[in-house]
Chain A
Amino acid sequence: MAERNPDLAVPVALGPRLAPAFALEAWSRLLRFVRREPLTAACAFIFVAIVIVAIFAPWIATHDPLAGDPRARLQGPSADHFFGTDAIGRDVFSRVVYGARVSLLVGVAATLAGTVIGAIIGLITGYLGGTVDLLVQRVMDGIQAIPALVFLLLVAAIWQQGMLSVVVVLAVLIAPYVSRLVRGVVLSLREEAFVLAAQAMGARPLRIMMVHILPNTLAPVLVAASIIAGGAMLAEGALSFLGLGIPPDDPLWKTSWGAMLKPENLQYFERSPYLVLFPGAALALTVLAVNVLGDSARDRLDPRLRGTL
């Protein structure tokens, strides 16, 4: 306990009048972070870069991602086209830039929606227990017994295709995982002294759930969220790859990384193999960055697990 935390102690010791020194301190903390956890630091950098690219896509893209130039088909990377051009002469770099928007939006929106729904279900069923719990658990089992990709195919092919349905279906598929996770935590907390004490004092179930139990589920859910977001991005990529997600010439979203790799283009890939590299690498790097950052968050939130994964 007597150990000082150097991260906290230094700015206080410096006093308020040394602002430049404080900036220097922040800088040296950053350097220390990079030195201690180079992989996490690199992934944080990649992630921030991808977010910036997604937000400022129209300014970063060098060409219109949908306008093909018939005179410049299947060109290799050059100063004009950083990543070359595709089969109808569209600039691959600009398309990869716009693809970041789709991936990040699907990852964030589906994870957020699925986590909120799942957390509510897990909280209620875990706390109440009984028949409702049993019934909901079986429904969740039923949803999870159908592979996500098959589920997505069913909805996309038969109902509707596009961003909204991808996000909604992914949220429906994510909810069971989160509900199970939250339910597990709730079950282990239900008999804890602080919950029993709150019950004895006459707190209503809603208050106990929101004030006493919910905050304790936050850490495991946050950690799982990074893995879930990565999975959601991969699922969107696979769906678009199969031609049932975001189309490669969507007027609003432009394109998705998965759609750029559609197997119909296999004959062009064999002529210009670099076409395969960039969109897939962009997706893999994004998922990698998100997963590694999630691992690092887990280590911070639960130090017992540090280094085990």
Chain B
Amino acid sequence: MTSYLVRRGAASIVVLLLVSIVAFLLIHLQKGDALTVKLRQRLPEEQVQQLRAEMGLDKPLWEQYWTWLSGVLRGDMGRSFFREQQPVWDRIKAALPVTVELVALAIVISVIVGVPAGVISAVRRNSLLDQVTRLFSVIGLTIPVFWLATIVLVYGGIWFSYSPPLTFQQFWESPMRNLEAMWMPGLILGYALSAITMRITRSSVLEVMRQDYVRTAWAKGLGEQVVIVRHVLANSLIPVITVLGNQFVYIIGSTVIVEYLFHLPGLGFVAFESIATRDYFLVQGTVLVIGAMVVAMNFLVDLSYAWLDPRVRLAGTTQI
């Protein structure tokens, strides 16, 4: 068990290091830098050179990378080029809770809706309820998130005079005001995610229901509830968790769209804005934090395997 965790943990750190390199290279391997965006007006050449030296943009790439990475390891992610050189971490610290709340909302909705719907759909296979649930799931899988969000904004505004609040408050400042801004984007992401959760739960439950031990449980005369919950559901959760873990990246990506449309100052919005202004350190910091969230989630998924499936736990002790 421990060696399994250590191996997964080490792999996570390597991946995170790679994310930092990718984030750094993507933004640095290009013609022109932040100065070309920042200095719309022409400046004398020596002044540009001086600014460049101040920002450390004249050094070789590997040195810039190393300076940045060692700073990050010490807890200093550099400063933004704009907004009076606000430290990157301050910006990320304010944005992180928004995105975490949004994603948590989406995951909670998808588990509350998707898992029971998938189980019922599988147990009552081909019933009317199954057909309706599957239709909703297919729509959720294919409807573009940006279209759904636009429809909500446009038709919600026309029919229900819905509009998202323009100012945002953190949950601990004012829970009601916060949820007022959050519930709709959370619902949109939650619907997209529960469509996938439901589909995987259904197929996984159908698979498990064919197993011999389930037949044995029925043959023993156990009640439907006991068979479904104790024997079927418990064993069909692993693929669901795998898929939820895989979808985490997709949901974080989608937060860019909903945060932009619903005026939420989260990480997705910061990523979008900083990329557009080529705010190097802010982009690198944001992408690194997003990558860290994904890697952490994958690690948690690995952990849950070990917890749910004794075979993984035991395999860890025999290998290496």
Which A positions have Cβ atoms within 8 angstroms of B? 138-139, 141-151, 153-155, 157-159, 230, 234, 237-238, 241-242, 258, 261, 263, 266, 269-270, 273, 276, 279-280, 283-284, 287-288, 291-292, 307-309
Contacts and interface: CB of A to CB of B under 8 A. Distances in A.
Q: How large is the interface on B (under 10, 10 to 19, 20 to 34, 35 or more residues)?
A: 35 or more
A263 B18 contact: no
Contacts of B145: 238
Interface in B1-52: 11, 14-16, 18-19, 21-23, 26-27, 30
A150 B290 contact: yes
A139 B298 CA distance: 15
Contact of B272 (A138, A153, A159, A234): A153
B95 interface: no
Contacts of A276: 147, 150-151, 154-155
Interface stretch (B59-67, B220-228, B247-255, B308-316): B247-255
Contacts of A263: 150, 260-261
Contacts of B146: 237-238, 241-242, 258, 261
B256 to A, nearest CB: 5
Determine the main DSSP class of A at the interface with B: helix
Interface string B243-279: 0000001101110110011000000100110011010
A149 B27 contact: no
Nearest to B256: A149
Contacts of B141: 291
B154 A150 contact: no
25 contacts: A141-B11, A141-B15, A142-B15, A142-B22, A142-B291, A143-B22, A145-B291, A145-B294, A146-B19, A147-B249, A148-B249, A150-B252, A150-B290, A153-B275, A157-B276, A158-B30, A158-B275, A242-B257, A269-B154, A270-B158, A276-B151, A284-B142, A284-B144, A291-B142, A308-B202
A146 B291 contact: yes
Contacts of A291: 138, 141-142
Given A138-B15, A308-B203, A308-B207, A288 B138 contact: yes
Contacts of A261: 146-147, 150
B257 A147 contact: no
Given A145-B291, A158-B26, A158-B30, A150 B253 contact: yes
Contacts of A284: 139, 142-144, 147
Contacts of B278: 157-158
Given A150-B287, A157-B275, A270 B157 contact: yes
Contacts of B27: 154, 158
A220 to B, nearest CB: 15
A238 B257 contact: yes
B119 to A, nearest CB: 14
Given A146-B294, A280-B147, A284-B147, 17 more contacts: A141-B11, A141-B298, A142-B19, A142-B21, A142-B22, A144-B294, A145-B18, A145-B249, A145-B295, A147-B252, A258-B146, A266-B150, A266-B153, A266-B154, A269-B154, A270-B157, A284-B144
A241 B147 CA distance: 9
B249 A153 contact: no
A146 B22 contact: yes
A142 B283 contact: no
Interface string B272-308: 1001101000010001001100110010000000000
A270 B287 CA distance: 34
Closest 7 CB pairs of A and B: A142-B18, A147-B253, A280-B147, A149-B253, A288-B142, A141-B15, A287-B142
A159 B30 contact: yes
B105 interface: no
Contacts of A157: 275-276, 278
A269 B150 contact: yes
A148 B250 contact: yes
A143 B144 CA distance: 23
A145 to B, nearest CB: 4
Contacts of A142: 15, 18-19, 21-22, 291
Contacts of A148: 249-250, 253
A11 to B, nearest CB: 33
Contacts of A258: 144, 146
Nearest to B297: A145
A269 B157 CA distance: 10
B214 interface: no
Nearest to A230: B142
B199 interface: yes
B123 interface: no
Nearest to A144: B249
A283 B150 CA distance: 14
A16 to B, nearest CB: 42
A124 to B, nearest CB: 20
A273 B158 contact: yes
Contacts of B253: 147-150
B206 interface: yes
Nearest to B267: A150
Contacts of B147: 237, 261, 276, 279-280, 283-284
